[in-house]
A and B are shown apart, each in its own frame.
Chain A
Amino acid sequence: MPANWSYVIAAYGIAAAALFGYWRHLARRARALTARPGAVVPHRTPRRTPS
């Protein structure tokens, strides 16, 4: 029974590259959109500052 590790590494490597690439794409897109002038960024609670 051959080990066939090269196939396992190729499958996991390609999947990891695709998932990481998509994650980076989302992060870049979100950064670009929130950096626009006048962009509304919801769901952020402002941190309280001591008075």
Chain B
Amino acid sequence: MTRVLGWLAALGLLAGVAAGFGYAPEEAVQGNVQRIMYLHVPSVLTAYLAFGLVLVGSIGYLATRRPLWDRLASSAAEIGVLFTAITIVSGSIWGKPTWGTWWTWDARLTSTAVLLLVYVGYLMLRGLVDEPEARGRYAAVVGILGAVNIPIVHFSVKWWRALHQPSTILGPEPSPLDPAIGLALFVNWIAFTLLFAYFLSRRIEIARLEET
């Protein structure tokens, strides 16, 4: 199953690159630098998915104390940190030619940086506690509290005046995207979700081996 997911993710990423660079047209205002969107947006959506699974795993662990929930939460957190870091770095690179700066203390950027730090803290906490039951319990509390930050990141562009543009997708209004750009974004989102599923499957298996 994991191997199949790996191949599907690889094919999905190839299709994503083809869609983003071959099929999607050059954006009228920003030019080619807008193609960073096919990396930036799927990364943050994958991070949301990962941290949502941390929440599910954390609640599951506190409710049942079964280690498989803790494995799900810790594995998803690690991968979520990776995708959040990619989101921040790609967004920063995109910001330089479009906003004229690598970084600004805008609500969306700041809340995303806080999101990253919360889950880096979650992983550090896990490294500090040796006893597995206590580690799972403490981490689950942080995993649940950390999830509060996900809607804050997503709605920050609505709640505060921000330099970052409002949500193009997952917003209340119909998406203003050109259909070709929307399709390229969708293909990349599917590819990133498959890659996440592949990484998660491998990471959970490693966590299980570490316990034996």
Which A residues have a C-beta under 8 Å from some C-beta of B? 1-5, 7-8, 10-12, 14-15, 18-19, 22-23, 26-27, 29-30, 33-34, 39-41, 43
In the assembled complex, 15 residue pairs joining A and B whose CB atoms fall closer than 8 Å, in A order, are: A2-B31, A4-B31, A4-B33, A7-B33, A8-B36, A11-B36, A11-B94, A14-B89, A15-B86, A18-B86, A19-B195, A22-B82, A22-B199, A33-B206, A43-B205
Contact flags B111-143 to A (C-beta < 8 A → 1, else 0): 000000000000000000000000000000000
Give Cα distance in the complex from A7 to B97, angstroms: 8
Listed residue (B32, B36, B205, B209) with the most chain A CB atoms within 10 angstroms of its CB: B209
Listed residue (A5, A11, A18, A27) with the most chain B CB atoms within 10 angstroms of its CB: A11
Give Cα distance in the complex from A27 to B33, angstroms: 33
Q: How many A-B residue pairs have CB under 8 A?
A: 71
**Is B93 at the interface (CB under 8 A from chain A)?**
yes
Chain B contact residue count (CB 8 A cutoff): 29
| CB neighbours of A2 from chain B (8 A) | 31, 97
Give Cα distance in the complex from A23 to B193, angstroms: 15
B199 touches A3 (CB 8 A): no
Contact flags B23-47 to A (C-beta < 8 A → 1, else 0): 0000001111101100110010000
Give Cα distance in the complex from A7 to B30, angstroms: 12
A7 touches B94 (CB 8 A): yes
Sorted from nearest, which 7 A-B pairs have the closest CB atoms? Answer: A4-B33, A33-B209, A1-B31, A11-B93, A11-B90, A11-B36, A4-B97
